[in-house]
Amino acid sequence: MVNHVIRIGLFFVLLLGLSECAKCPYAKFSPDHSFCKDPNPKCTILERGLKSDDKQRLLDLHNMYREKVASGKETQAGKLPTATNMFEMAWDDELASIAQKWAEQCIYDHDCDECRQVDRFDVGQNLYRAGSSDKPTKHDWDRMVKKWYDEVSMFDKSYIKPFFSGVYNHFSQIVWATTWKLGCGFVVYKEPEWYRSYLVCNYGPTGNWDEEEMYNVGRTCSYCPTGSCCGADCTKKFKKTAKYPSLC
């Protein structure tokens, strides 16, 4: 009789789990996955989401900084060497949807690693939050991404390989060579005395792996994946000019 009751109990637990996964497919990674959350009812959200121009600007900024590092034009951190294998980033709607869900929690902290995971890869994350006494009417994406990138001043080229996490992790995630998908979410919300602008960017595959390499040092474009193009090679293969000539 006891075994029968246990089996029935396990059956209903399994059924409940399947039901939750059906409602939110990301629950298989974590029951607390950010995509499965409703907006925080205690948060007064005044603006949410990104327009197509905003997405493009955020993507361009990331690739501009990646090009700067890959081409050897970054003079800080002991003058960073050129990269053989730095990918050009592309926008990813799945990552953006999950980032938007987390932004709508109005919690200025990272969600758990499993809480933003997707089938394709583990996902990294950068956060930016600012406050103002008046409701913002324009959003300075350049300043936000620059705030992350400026951590290069605390980085040193000796950390490229092996890499170790530190106070420069926003910067290192932006220029991690094999990260090539970007998706961001955004909200403006009201606190009692402040208007908060909150940007969440998710990255895949994640970077910032301790004891790995941030990028491979050497001649630009010399270690790109098969089937990709880089620099002048894009003109030869695909009859197009590369927007970022040092990125794969």
- The contacts of residue 231 (CB under 8 Å, 6+ apart) are 220, 221, 242, 245, 246
pTM: 0.89
pLDDT score at 180: 98
pLDDT score at 56: 99
Give DSSP secondary structure letters for 46-98: EEE---HHHHHHHHHHHHHHHHHHHTT---HHHHPPPBSSPPPPEE-HHHHHH
Residue 4 in this model has a pLDDT that exceeds 60: no
For 6-10, 111-115, 166-170, 243-247, which range has the lowest pLDDT when averaged over its residues? Answer: 6-10
Pairwise CA distance, residues 157 & 213, whole Å:
11
Residue among 191, 39, 218, 67 nearest 130 (CA): 191
Residue among 76, 78, 57 nearest 68 (CA): 76
Give DSSP secondary structure letters for 87-149: PPPEE-HHHHHHHHHHHTTT--SPPPGGGG--SS---EEEEEEEEESS--SS--HHHHHHHHH
Which residue type, as a one-letter code, is found at position 219? R
Place of tokens 């990331």: 62
Residues forming beta bridges with residue 202, ordered by sequence position? 125, 183
Residue among 84, 90, 101, 117 nearest 185 (CA): 101
Asked if the 41-238 domain carries CATH number 3.30.1180.20, the reply is: no
What is the average per-residue pLDDT within 190-203? 97
What is the average per-residue pLDDT within 225-241? 77
pLDDT score at 109: 99
pLDDT score at 11: 39
Q: Collapsing DSSP states into helix, strand and coil, what is residue 194?
A: coil
At 6, the pLDDT band (50, 70, 90 cuts) reads very low
Residues 41-84: pLDDT tens digits?
Answer: 999 999 999 999 999 999 999 999 999 999 999 999 999 999 99
5 compared with 95, residue with greater pLDDT: 95
pLDDT score at 232: 75
pLDDT score at 239: 60
pLDDT score at 97: 99
Q: Which helix (H) or strand (E) holds 9?
A: helix 2-23
For 95-104, 147-156, 228-237, which range has the lowest pLDDT when averaged over its residues? Answer: 228-237
What is the average per-residue pLDDT within 126-135? 97
Pairwise CA distance, residues 214 & 159, whole Å:
8
φ, ψ at 106 (rounded to 5°): 60, 35
The DSSP call for residue 217 is B
pLDDT score at 2: 39
CB atoms within 10 A of CB 227: 6
What is the average per-residue pLDDT within 180-188? 99
- Residue 42's Cβ-count burial label (10 Å; 0-12, 13-18, 19+) is exposed
Structure tokens at 96: 């953006």
Residues 143-166: pLDDT tens digits?
Answer: 999 999 999 999 999 999 999 999
